[in-house]
């Protein structure tokens, strides 16, 4: 405490943590886990603005079971009757509880569509006195992959900063389902009006600390046939590691620059993460241009990795459409 009347809370921030979401129903005696979702954006982006995938893609079966067990213990300890949503962060093998909300979450419709479990109906019956054992529903281990992507209103709000952070900015959600993560993510991106290109030019600009993380993604995109562009620091780093990249000027360095490329339809995908205060104005102008000219864009390393996997999956495949009932019965 700084003083008796003005306490100060200091929390440790978890860098590069994986955020998890769990929706469950509790009747006071037992718990039904709807699903454990893995966020694609790192922890720190508002959960309502983060894409997520069900089932998890990077957790071990032991970690998933540990998350489920924590969820059961928390729900029963709180004597929850109905729905509960719990958010976790996985960092260096340790699972942290971020928050527990004894209510319906915005991810309940997504989980229900992905698994076939009618969570809202189950919760309503539980709240009216039914027991989960009476209702006969079982937890599902799905064989397909479901990706939730968000709808962002930036094209209709020209003055809004498109950088994602702790404040929620999305106004809707879509879902992509397939038997492969890459194809499911591609479908979700397309449904969110951010269709990923399968060929063309990619502009990459990231902070110095993120250059080692973007390197394998840039290599993959180059191997997939894309021509890469970047600003001076990114170009030097990539070429020093054997990845060819063409130089583009920053916005403040004069024309022709990345904004000119976007306006001229000379770039098909923009990967740009926000940097320090000096770089944020460039980032804002670039993101506004990609939105105004309908260029697909990615603003996080995790999102860029998912996009590269999606493009690789779709290179030699076509989008297939199946009824939800086929996925649920598989």
Residue 130 and residue 225 in one domain: no
pLDDT class of 2 with cuts at 50, 70, 90: low
Nearest to 282 by CA among 295, 272, 291, 292: 272
Q: How many CB atoms lie within 10 A of CB 222?
A: 17
Gap between the Cα atoms of 271 and 216, Å rounded: 14
In a domain, 273, yes or no: yes
The residues near 29 (Cβ < 8 Å, ≥ 6 apart) are 76, 131, 132, 133
Torsions phi, psi for 61 (to 5 deg): -55, -35
The position carrying tokens 């397939």 is 178
Residue 180 and residue 247 in one domain: no
In a domain, 308, yes or no: no
| Phi-psi group of 324: left, alpha or beta (phi > 0 → left; psi -120 to 50 → alpha; rest → beta) | alpha
Q: What is the CATH number of the domain that holds 120?
A: 3.30.470.20
Residue 214 and residue 68 in one domain: no
CA distances from 274 to 175, 197, 199, 279, 302 (A): 26, 22, 25, 7, 14
Gap between the Cα atoms of 297 and 64, Å rounded: 31
Gap between the Cα atoms of 153 and 170, Å rounded: 7
Nearest to 300 by CA among 162, 96, 160, 95: 162
Structure tokens at 318: 């076509």
pLDDT class of 75 with cuts at 50, 70, 90: very high
pLDDT class of 85 with cuts at 50, 70, 90: very high
| Stated length of the chain | 330
The pLDDT tens digits of the residues spanning 269-301 come to 999 887 655 566 677 788 888 888 889 999 888
Least confident span in 63-67, 82-86, 314-318 = 314-318
Residue 211 and residue 73 in one domain: no
pLDDT class of 118 with cuts at 50, 70, 90: very high
Residue 27 and residue 141 in one domain: yes
3-state SS of 138-191 is CCCCCCCEEEEEEECCHHHCCCCCCCCCCCCCCCEEEEEEECCHHHHHHHHHHH
Q: Which three-class secondary structure state does DSSP give residue 274?
A: coil
The pLDDT tens digits of the residues spanning 145-165 come to 999 999 887 777 776 777 777
CA distances from 226 to 21, 30, 249 (A): 34, 52, 19
In a domain, 204, yes or no: yes
Q: How many CB atoms lie within 10 A of CB 135?
A: 14
In a domain, 7, yes or no: no
Q: How many domains does the chain have?
A: 2
Least confident span in 3-7, 49-53, 303-307 = 3-7
Examine the pLDDT at 1 and tell me if it is beyond 70: no
* Angle of CA points 279, 38, 167, to nearest 5°: 45
In a domain, 304, yes or no: no
Examine the pLDDT at 67 and tell me if it is beyond 90: yes
Least confident span in 22-26, 221-225, 245-249 = 245-249
Q: Cβ distance 56 to 37 under 8 Å? A: yes
Residue 287 and residue 323 in one domain: no
In a domain, 264, yes or no: yes
Residue 178 and residue 31 in one domain: yes
Query: Which one has a higher pLDDT value, 34 or 50?
Result: 34
In a domain, 207, yes or no: yes
Gap between the Cα atoms of 155 and 290, Å rounded: 10
**How many CA atoms lie within 13 Å of 253's alpha carbon, on the beta-carbon side?**
12
Residue 238 and residue 279 in one domain: yes
Residue 140 and residue 228 in one domain: no
In a domain, 311, yes or no: no
Extract the runs of DSSP E, i.e. beta strands, from the chain. 18-26, 31-39, 52-54, 82-91, 94-101, 145-151, 172-178, 201-205, 227-230, 246-247, 269-272, 297-298
Residue 28 and residue 59 in one domain: yes
Residue 109 and residue 188 in one domain: yes
Q: What is the CATH number of the domain that holds 208?
A: 3.40.50.1380
Neighbouring-strand partners of residue 101:
85
The position carrying tokens 């591609």 is 186
Residue 185 and residue 125 in one domain: yes
Give the range of the structural domain holding residue 34, as residue numbers without chain letter: 12-195+318-330
Structure tokens at 4: 């008796």
């Amino acid at each position: 405490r700084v003083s008796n009347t003005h306490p100060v809370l200091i929390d440790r921030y978890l860098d590069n943590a994986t955020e998890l979401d769990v929706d469950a129903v509790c009747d006071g005696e037992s718990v039904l886990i709807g699903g454990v979702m893995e966020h694609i954006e790192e922890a720190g982006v508002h959960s309502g603005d983060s894409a997520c995938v069900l089932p998890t893609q990077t957790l071990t079966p032991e970690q998933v079971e540990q998350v489920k067990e924590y969820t059961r213990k928390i729900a029963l300890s709180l004597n929850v009757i109905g729905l509960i949503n719990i958010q976790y962060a996985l960092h260096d093998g340790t699972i942290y509880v971020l928050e527990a909300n004894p209510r319906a979450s915005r991810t309940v419709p997504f989980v229900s569509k992905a698994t076939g479990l009618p969570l809202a109906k189950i919760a309503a019956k539980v709240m009216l006195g039914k027991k989960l054992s009476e209702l006969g529903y079982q937890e599902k281990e799905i064989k397909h992959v479901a990706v939730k992507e968000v709808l962002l209103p930036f094209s209709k709000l020209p003055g809004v900063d498109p950088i994602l952070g702790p404040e929620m900015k999305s106004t809707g959600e879509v879902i992509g389902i397939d038997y492969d993560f890459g194809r499911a993510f591609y479908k979700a991106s397309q449904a969110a009006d951010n269709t990923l290109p399968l060929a063309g030019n990619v502009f990459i600009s990231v902070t110095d600390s993120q250059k080692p993380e973007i390197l394998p993604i840039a290599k993959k995109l180059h191997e997939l046939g894309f021509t890469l562009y970047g600003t001076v620091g990114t170009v030097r780093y990539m070429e020093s590691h054997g990845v060819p990249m063409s130089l583009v000027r920053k916005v403040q360095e004069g024309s022709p620059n990345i904004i000119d490329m976007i306006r001229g339809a000379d770039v098909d995908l923009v990967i740009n993460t926000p940097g320090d205060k000096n770089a944020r104005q460039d980032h804002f102008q670039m993101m506004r241009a990609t939105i105004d000219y309908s260029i697909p864009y990615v603003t996080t390393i995790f999102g860029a990795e998912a996009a590269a996997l999606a493009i690789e999956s779709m290179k030699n495949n076509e989008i297939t459409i199946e009824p939800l009932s086929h996925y649920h019965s598989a």
